[in-house]
């Protein structure tokens, strides 16, 4: 992996981490159960993206 690719991967990992935290925070603050569930679902998707990207660093 080139330095440029590694930097792009690290940037994307950071972005996924931030987005995951934001959606989880919004879900905790939401009083509507359906919206809360959808926000948690989106957070989970981004957590999976984060985990996948991290696995590329460990490979």
Residue 59: what pLDDT? Answer: 67
Residue entry with tokens 């935290």: 21
Q: What is the pLDDT of residues 1-59, one digit of tens each?
A: 899 999 999 999 999 999 999 999 999 999 999 999 999 999 999 999 999 999 988 86
Distance CA 57, CA 53 (A): 7
Residue 45: what pLDDT? Answer: 98
Residue 37: what pLDDT? Answer: 98
Residue 40: what pLDDT? Answer: 98
């Amino acid at each position: 992996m080139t330095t440029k690719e590694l930097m792009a991967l690290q940037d994307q990992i950071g972005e996924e981490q931030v987005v995951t935290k934001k959606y989880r925070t919004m879900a905790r603050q939401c009083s509507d159960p359906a919206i809360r569930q959808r926000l948690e679902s989106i957070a989970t998707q981004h957590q999976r993206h984060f985990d996948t990207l991290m696995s590329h660093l460990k490979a």
